[in-house]
Structure 1
């Protein structure tokens, strides 16, 4: 699929991540720069705006340029959603195209897609992972400026990131001058982030409400297998997904579930007493919660949750959120 994560099987993915990390960490900084093109977030990241007025023709927002944004389809009276892709993705990926399309089908939003493919489309996963903080800081700088110019209200801004993009979303929240309303991490990347402290990855304190979905955790999973947000959802145990034979498939299901939740949210979840319960799919502490429910932020939902899905779409098993 164009713009999607490379389709490695479990062992190939693990080997490439391990080798990439080992190669980079074993070399001095000056040698690494010789084999990896330089990346400057202020030069290389694109902010692509989609609204109901310009569907299919995203408008590139210039950094801190008032004339540029005034001449754009951006509407300061509407809520804003920021979408961030993961490793080896770009503006053709589902987190961009599919998510933007369904958000605009159901809501009148400003949707800003953060295209950092100049830094993320590299076989060197460690290099891509090392760029997430710079991308997050760049996006936060733009949002801070937009707030200063009364273009956005942080109470109406959500940032949704997939894989490495989930950690970028976290760094956006860490660097805004005031808390964003909501951050949603779709299977936050695990390799090279599992051992980081909260300041180096997405964390529950990065916004007023932070929700994470874990679809591919585990020892050699592509995702982060632990509860790190205010509300953490572990579908089907959180390690592998029904109908998937590879890590990549399970990892990408996070985006598919989110898109489906926008259309018709039937991802009813039950509360778990622990991560172990969630991993064993043995949770029975009561329902009444839905993954990606638009009311979760207002409720300040907190805890660990589980839901089961089907092997094929529609994935949700219901009931539909009332």
Structure 2
């Protein structure tokens, strides 16, 4: 019980401390982004057997199943996760089931799988710069067209996606932040977290916000969706469950996008589930809402179990 109370106290405190105020000593020194981050490629040619791409190495890419003629999706996991997490396995599986994409998974588990959340959070900017450097290299060598590039990140991975966008001059087509991590980021300036200006279109889903939630509970992106009020999700009894529903909802939106949303006038309306400013909007899916240049705050309700979406389906 004492451990639970202590952890809860840390979460509450962490929501109120900007990460830039932390001392450098709190960053664990053994993590080397160039040595420890893996870029794992999956395509329809090598499903189930991801191939590692070497950093800024054209021959490594040419020798892989990567096809420059096809769109690319980049997936980034969160704290305490790795290449077996839902954002990696489930998302890439459904993307390749329905689309002929190059899917690159950013495995930074050496830096993420630590009880030291502060240390993991402090690595976000460095990993984002690393991913951006790789993508800039791939664009320079005509492997990637930024007009057909999406970056999707969960939790801390959402902020890595944001830093990736900042270091590619906001030229990536779409960034999707799935319940961007709140502790140490809620009070951070836009240049230190995912932000609406990080790509040509930035969409965020908030499933576990609030003072004791794992995510940021405020609108920080171009389009922000708050399912079921954005704090806790039906069928969930823990923050971990509500936080993870962000990935589950996104994966389902790829299969059959029926997450029909209502526009909200304010965040308060979204949290109280009292939105009535217009319908005809959908969360997630392929292609993204960038084609509509969607902006604003939105709410939708879900079921307790899969399938979560209540419909109607996107036309």
Q: By the TM > 0.5 criterion, same fold?
A: yes
* Structure 1 residue 20 displacement after superposition: 8.7
Matched, 1:261 2:237: no
- Aligned-pair CA distance for 1:77: 0.1
- C-alpha distance in 2, partners of 1:231/1:18? 26
Once superposed, which parts of structure 1, at least 4 consecutive aligned residues long, lie more than 6 Å away?
A: 18-22, 24-28
Distance 1:318 1:11, change over 3 A: farther
- Cα offset for 1:285? 1.2
1:316 aligns with 2:287: no
- 1:24-35 to structure 2, matched below 5 A, reads 29=24, 32=26
Deviation (angstroms), 1:14: 2.5
* Cross-structure match for 1:211: 203
Partner of 1:183: 175
TM-score w.r.t. length of structure 2: 0.94
**1:17 Cα deviation (Å)?**
4.4
1:298 to 291, 297, 304: 291
Q: List per-residue Cα deviations over 1:75-99 (Å, max 9, x = no partner).
A: 0000000000000000000000000
CA contact (8 A) 1:17 1:125 kept: no
Segments of 5+ residues of structure 2 without an aligned counterpart are: none
**Matches of 1:20 and 1:223 in 2, distance apart?**
11
- Whether the aligned pair in 2 keeps the contact of 1:161 and 1:168 (CA below 8 Å) is yes
Alpha-carbon distance change, 150 to 254 in structure 1, aligned in 2, over 3 angstroms:
same
Number of equivalences? 310
Question: RMSD value over aligned CA atoms?
Answer: 2.1
Q: Deviations over 1:294-314 (max 9, x none)?
A: 251011100000000001111
The answer to whether the 8 A contact 2:229-2:273 is kept is yes
Shift of 1:105: 0.1
SS in 1 for 2:40: strand
State the 1:26 CA deviation: 11
Q: Distance in 2 between matches of 1:127 and 1:308?
A: 35
Q: Measure, in 2, the Cα distance between the counterparts of 1:159 and 1:27.
A: 28
Q: Secondary structure at the match of 2:219?
A: coil
TM-score with structure 1 setting the length: 0.92
Closer/same/farther in 2, CA of residues 225 and 61 from structure 1, 3 Å limit? same
Q: How much has 1:12 moved relative to structure 2?
A: 6.4
1:43 Cα deviation after fit: 1.2
Q: Any idea what the Cα deviations from partners look like across 1:147-204, whole Å, max 9, x if unmatched?
A: 0001111111000000000000000000015600000000000000000010000000
CA distance in 1, matches of 2:4, 2:204: 22
User: Structure 1 residues 317, 26: closer, same or farther in 2, change over 3 A?
Assistant: closer
1: distance between equivalents of 2:305 and 2:69?
38
- Does 2:141 match 1:149? yes
Distance in 2, Cα, partners of 1:285 & 1:13: 38
